[in-house]
A and B are shown apart, each in its own frame.
Chain A
Amino acid sequence: MPTALKNFSKFRYLLYELIKKDIKLKYRSSILGVLWTLLEPLLTMIVLTIVFSGLLGKGDDNFPVYILCGRLLYSFFSTGTKTALKSIRKNSSTIKKVYVPKYMYPLASTFSSYMIFLISLIVLVGVAIYEKVTITPAILGAIFPLIMVFFLTLGVGLILSVLDVFFRDLEYLWTVVLMLIMYTCAIFYKVESLKSVTNEWIFKINPLYSLIVNFRNAIFGRPLDMYHFWYALAFSAAVMLFGSFLFYKKQDRFILYI
């Protein structure tokens, strides 16, 4: 283990460079550049508000803020896992020629998505102020879902990046799975207000939904829901452990397949 740590510290500059590269190149050719990080969720929020604003009742949470909470977390999870999935194959030419710890690639892509996600939280703050949502001390609870969503995404990303080396069609399959996850995240509606939920269990097993629920609780000044808290924590820890284990076991075989 100390050798692994030593190795990490030797290559920590690489991690920094890879994150910087992802973020720099992402917006290099666009005129508004990094402003898109803010504009994109804002515009999606406006669209969703126009179309679905009737879905929440009178006494419910402020709709734009409600949407943003779900939408921001989901889009981090979705871009984070999608880029991590491709990270090994995308860097195959380097992996074949220069030795660097291979986990740097999924780790860096998850980190860079996370940076962009953190920047985009500014939109949430702005909209919350504009919509006069009262901020209470409960908002400190938001730190838990914000940390957990990183490890959830990293763990899932590690697993996907390994599998993608061996099975190229995972990319398309994952898009479908992401769609399922998106619709069970209740981004623009409330699960309780669905007239007849035949498959309520599907919301209960979606760890991202658990995170979103508690993120909303914190933003709207409610205490955290303990079922969702423990479930998300256990799930994130489990995928992190399994992902690291799988990656560690399979990394030496990557070069034979990429």
Chain B
Amino acid sequence: MAEENILEVKPKKKPKKKVIEVNNLGVRFNMAEQKVDSLKEYFIRLVHRNLKYKEFWALRDVSFSIRKGDRVGILGLNGAGKSTLLKVIAGVLKATEGTVTVKESVVPLLELGAGFDKDYTGAENIYLYGSMLGYKREFIREKFDEIVKFSELGDFINVPVKNYSSGMRARLGFSIATIVDPQILILDEVLSVGDAKFKKKSANKLKKMMKSGVTVLLVSHQGDQVRTICNKAIILDHGKLIASGKAEEICDQYEEMISKKD
């Protein structure tokens, strides 16, 4: 990583520890040719031995590791398996084969506010969503004002979330998720939350986090975003890892790949 930088004043550190390790990861989905979700249908098909599934590997034989402080871009076209990979790392989806080891706390900034209850007010949702992210009650209580302030919701914090605009919901979700300094941050595309003003604010917050040495995983299908944010990158294509390395080189390769496909 930092090996070429010989003039560094500080004593040279060992390579940083691996925080995410992915070994031969494979994720298989059973795509039922017809959806069987009623008991009657299930038994009829069971008797006729007609329970066929089409197997589909969303990811296969993917191996890589990420060291602390790396900012890794995951490039690939639609359906390449990017989101599946993030879901496995976030712990939502289990690997069918292979292993994924994540050694630090992950904050997934995917679809902000997915854990909100629409009948609950913003204030109540702060506690609910915070507890889903594994925060302690006292911690949330302590940070409550800060979250409300950052979200800029003002008096709307006591209004049920069902009356929020999508921008307001995302703002609240972003404010709750980023109230801790996460060790691993997962981003699906670069965040565009709320209006121009809030966008700037959230971008600043993310920049500050990245400076503090957080590990970042960014999914994108544009080379430019990865170039500006990441130092490393991988390319996924049809569930396979086809390249990994420095962000610059990988982005070039990716762009070349796309232009060939056109």
Contact = CB atoms under 8 A, between A and B. Distances in A.
B38 A256 contact: no
Contacts of B245: none
Interface in B108-140: 108, 110-111, 114-115, 117, 119-120, 124, 127-128, 131-137
B260 interface: no
Nearest to B114: A97
A21 B124 contact: yes
Contact of B30 (A97, A168, A256): A256
Given A93-B114, A252-B94, A100 B132 contact: yes
Contacts of B128: 17-18, 21
Contacts of B127: 17
Interface in A32-66: none
Nearest to A10: B134
B64 interface: no
| Majority SS at the chain B contact face | loop
Given A25-B119, A96-B92, A255-B92, A13 B136 contact: yes
A167 B44 CA distance: 13
A181 B135 CA distance: 41
Nearest to B133: A98
B25 to A, nearest CB: 15
B258 interface: no
Nearest to A99: B91
Contacts of A98: 90, 92, 108, 114-115, 132-133
A163 to B, nearest CB: 9
B92 A166 contact: no
Contact of A169 (B38, B136, B137): B38
Interface in A17-33: 17-18, 21, 24-25, 28
A170 B135 CA distance: 35
Nearest to B35: A257
A31 B6 CA distance: 73
A11 B117 contact: no
A167 B42 contact: yes
Contacts of A255: 92-93
A173 interface: yes
Interface in A80-97: 93-97
A98 B117 CA distance: 14
A16 interface: yes
A139 interface: no
B48 interface: no
A94 B40 contact: no
Contact of A17 (B87, B90, B91, B131): B131
Nearest to A15: B131
Contacts of A167: 37-39, 42
Contacts of B134: 10-11, 14, 100
Contact of B131 (A14, A24, A95, A99): A14
A197 B136 CA distance: 56
Interface of A: 10-11, 13-14, 16-18, 21, 24-25, 28, 93-100, 166-170, 173, 252, 255-257
